[in-house]
Chain A
Amino acid sequence: MAATPASVTRRVEHPARLENLGLFLGFIDQACAEEHIDSEASFALRLAVEEVCMNLIRHGYAGLEPGPIELDFEVDAGVARLKVCDRARPFDPSQAPAPNLHDDAMHRPIGGLGWHLIKQLMDRVAYRSDAQRGNELILEKKFQRH
């Protein structure tokens, strides 16, 4: 059986503004559809894109002129790889505080779940930042083709 070739890299870049969230979500939805990624993995990738973009829009670039968010997407050997590049304030996801999942509803804070969901749903999360190239987040998700 012939090996499935690696896909081309799809790329999109838009300023980090809330009104552009739909463009980022549309990008990942279309990429997952074109690669026939299963619904569970597609859901997880869409959620990861939303959470990362919302963090950049609301926090990373807060108080700054909204800079770019660049998404690169490719698949290879049953793994979808999403790379997010930005020039916002660096934030290492390993530093994101873990939410307390055991508080009752009245004591649970509203918020703080984005990074937790990304880490739970993605198979790999890697991050690096430097002053010249900016920030780069890699997210990987195994999938099956449907």
Chain B
Amino acid sequence: MEVTVNTTDQVTVFVIRGSVDGLTAERLLAVMDEQVNGGATRLVADFSALEYTSSAGLRALLSTVKRARSLGGDLRLAAVRPQVLRVLDLSGFTSILKLYDDVPAAVSSYA
């Protein structure tokens, strides 16, 4: 899994490539935590290149959503692939997270 961080219009975008699983979820969480610790609370996860997630990935997402929302911000998802979307849906995450078709739409949602 690769994760890169960039900032657009004061929104922090995590671009995640590959698979988030029991081996990689902690690293993703650490990257997101570092940004929140640095004051970033308007967050977007770009899932366009995320091929797979398990419950480990869901834990990292939920932990970050809780932190961001407690600080008045949020973590929103962009471009979720169908099979990852199915996992989010089965877990009830599609009703508690905001999802957008693409990164520009997710970034604009904070405007």
CA gap between A101 and B87 in the complex, in Å: 13
- Of A17-25, A74-82, A85-93, A129-137, the one with at least 4 CB within 8 A of chain B: A17-25
- Of B7-15, B35-43, B54-62, B100-108, the one with at least 4 CB within 8 A of chain A: B54-62
Task: List, in ascending order, chain A residues with CB within 8 A of B111's CB.
Answer: none
Q: Using A105-B69, A117-B55 as known contacts, say yes or no to A18 and B23 having CB atoms under 8 A apart.
A: yes
CB <8 Å contact, A21 and B21? yes
Total interface residues on A, CB under 8 Å, equals 29
Answer whether residue A1 sits at the interface, using C-beta atoms and an 8 A cutoff. Answer: no
CA gap between A134 and B69 in the complex, in Å: 45
Task: List, in ascending order, chain B residues with CB within 8 A of A57's CB.
Answer: 22
Task: List, in ascending order, chain A residues with CB within 8 A of B78's CB.
Answer: none
Q: Is the contact region of chain B dominated by helix, strand, or loop, or is it mixed?
A: helix
Chain B contact residues (Cβ within 8 angstroms of A): what range? 20 to 34
Answer whether residue A104 sits at the interface, using C-beta atoms and an 8 A cutoff. Answer: yes
CA gap between A46 and B54 in the complex, in Å: 9
CB <8 Å contact, A50 and B87? no
Task: List, in ascending order, chain B residues with CB within 8 A of A111's CB.
Answer: 55, 59
Task: List, in ascending order, chain A residues with CB within 8 A of B70's CB.
Answer: 106
Q: Using A47-B54, A105-B96 as known contacts, say yes or no to A110 and B59 having CB atoms under 8 A apart.
A: yes
Task: List, in ascending order, chain A residues with CB within 8 A of B62's CB.
Answer: 105, 108, 110
Q: Using A116-B91, A120-B90 as known contacts, say yes or no to A51 and B83 having CB atoms under 8 A apart.
A: no
Q: Using A47-B87, A50-B21, A116-B90 as known contacts, say yes or no to A104 and B54 having CB atoms under 8 A apart.
A: no
Known: A40-B83, A106-B66, A110-B63. 19 other contacts (CB 8 A): A18-B22, A39-B83, A43-B83, A47-B52, A47-B87, A50-B22, A51-B55, A53-B22, A101-B92, A105-B62, A105-B66, A105-B69, A106-B69, A113-B58, A114-B55, A116-B90, A117-B55, A117-B90, A117-B91
Binding site for B on A (CB under 8 A): 18, 21-22, 25, 39-40, 43, 46-47, 50-51, 53-54, 57, 99, 101-102, 104-106, 108, 110-111, 113-114, 116-117, 120-121
Binding site for A on B (CB under 8 A): 21-23, 52, 54-56, 58-59, 62-63, 65-66, 69-70, 83, 87, 90-92, 95-97
